[in-house]
Amino acid sequence: MNIQNKVNQLFESQLLNWDLARRNFSDLNSVRTKTVDFDNFSVQIQCNPARMVSSGAKIDAKTIAERPCFLCAENRPKEQQGVEFGDYTILVNPFPIFPKHFTIPRNEHVAQAIQPYFNDMLHLAQSLPELIVFYNGPKCGASAPDHMHFQAGSNGFLPLLGDYQRLKISFEGFGAVPVGIELFTIPNYLRTVFCVESFSVEASVEMFEIIYNQLQHGEEEPMMNVVCSYQGDKWYTFILPRGQFRPWQYTAEASSQLLVSPATVEMCGVFIVPILAHFERINRSDVKDILTQSTLKF
């Protein structure tokens, strides 16, 4: 049985046998949503109270040091089962955004970092063609920056991937790129996105390294979110360089506060708002301002 089928079986089994997961996935059917339109794309907004655990997560060094790592096997809920994939375990995420949502921690407790493991991300995407695989940097939305992990979710859910295919006809590619690579950006999108297409793992890694090194200043990992999808024998990788983690609205007072903590999902066009009053208040101007703060402009 291939990995995708095993993961599908895991999902069905966990919803039968794990009350928390079953309840939260069921609640997705009744979450409130609305859409904000821009010139050539839209942003969806989802009111999802269960995501407070992530949107409100404290990731300062003191908090991280004082809590047990919830991605390490010995600290996971006893109901949580997984599918092994090399050095990783694929787990159902009990606090979902996607109709099918998974967390994929590395089996060893090592810090969140994309560069040593980008090759693994490509192989995960190839093995899970019904899903997209994504990465939140340690300062770009990862609620466990102390433990290396990817996430995966239902293909077709994030607007970015559909926008890319729909708008691509108008793109101008970059000429000076490695053989076997197509590289694009999306103009007038409020976010900087590097879109890499390749039929080869090696070429994808080479292009990723070029972009990574261009973004890096100093020793720390450059702030970024990364999405990878494998369709029709081709890898599609989307690199979203970040300007900052949380917008000023996140810590604003009273009626100005919007608890939006941009990670990959938000940068790809789905804003998760865990507080109903904030969901009702957020508007087109807020979305534009939050995206503008969150992205790295060139």
Radius of gyration of the chain (CA): 18
The yes-or-no verdict on residue 203 having pLDDT over 90 is yes
* Predicted local distance difference test score (pLDDT) of residue 176: 65
* Averaged pLDDT score across all residues of the chain: 93
The yes-or-no verdict on residue 245 having pLDDT over 80 is yes
**Residue 175 pLDDT class (50, 70, 90 cuts):** low
Q: Taking the model in full, what pTM does it have?
A: 0.94
**Stretch among 12-26, 72-86, 162-176, 187-201 having the lowest mean pLDDT:** 162-176
> Which is nearest to 94 in space by CA: 110, 114, 71?
71
* Predicted local distance difference test score (pLDDT) of residue 57: 59
What interhelical angle do 201-215 and 118-127 show, nearest 10? 140
**Stretch among 100-109, 171-180, 219-228 having the lowest mean pLDDT:** 171-180
Check: CB of residue 134 under 8 Å from CB of residue 124.
no
Q: What percent of the chain has pLDDT over 90?
A: 83
In tens, the pLDDT along 25-69 reads 999 998 999 999 999 999 999 998 888 765 655 667 777 777 899
**Stretch among 60-74, 170-184, 217-231, 277-291 having the lowest mean pLDDT:** 170-184
Query: Mean pLDDT over residues 141-156, rounded?
Result: 95
* Predicted local distance difference test score (pLDDT) of residue 54: 59
Q: Give all strands (DSSP E) within the chain, no chain letters.
A: 32-37, 42-47, 82-85, 88-92, 101-105, 131-136, 149-154, 181-185, 194-198, 224-231, 234-241, 270-273
Domains of the chain: 1-298 (3.30.428.70)
Query: Mean pLDDT over residues 5-27, rounded?
Result: 96
**Stretch among 80-94, 155-169, 177-191 having the lowest mean pLDDT:** 177-191
